[in-house]
Amino acid sequence: MMRELDKIDKALLNRINTTQCSSIRDVIRPFLLERSESVLRTRVRALELQKLIKTTRTKREVLCFGVVVPEDDKRA
3-class DSSP state of 22? strand
Q: Taking the model in full, what pTM does it have?
A: 0.80
Residue 75: pLDDT over 90: no
User: What does the domain layout of the chain look like in residue ranges?
Assistant: 7-66
Residue 1: pLDDT over 50: no
3-class DSSP state of 44? helix
Q: Which fold has domain 7-66?
A: Arc Repressor Mutant, subunit A (1.10.10)
Residue 74: pLDDT over 50: yes
Q: In terms of DSSP bridges, do strands 53-57 and 62-66 run parallel, antiparallel, or are they unpaired?
A: antiparallel
Q: What is the pLDDT of residues 14-42, one digit of tens each?
A: 999 888 778 999 999 999 999 999 999 99
pLDDT top residue among 73 and 55: 55
Give just the sign of the alpha carbon dihedral 13, 14, 17, 21: negative
Query: Residue 52: how many CB atoms within 10 A of its CB?
Result: 20
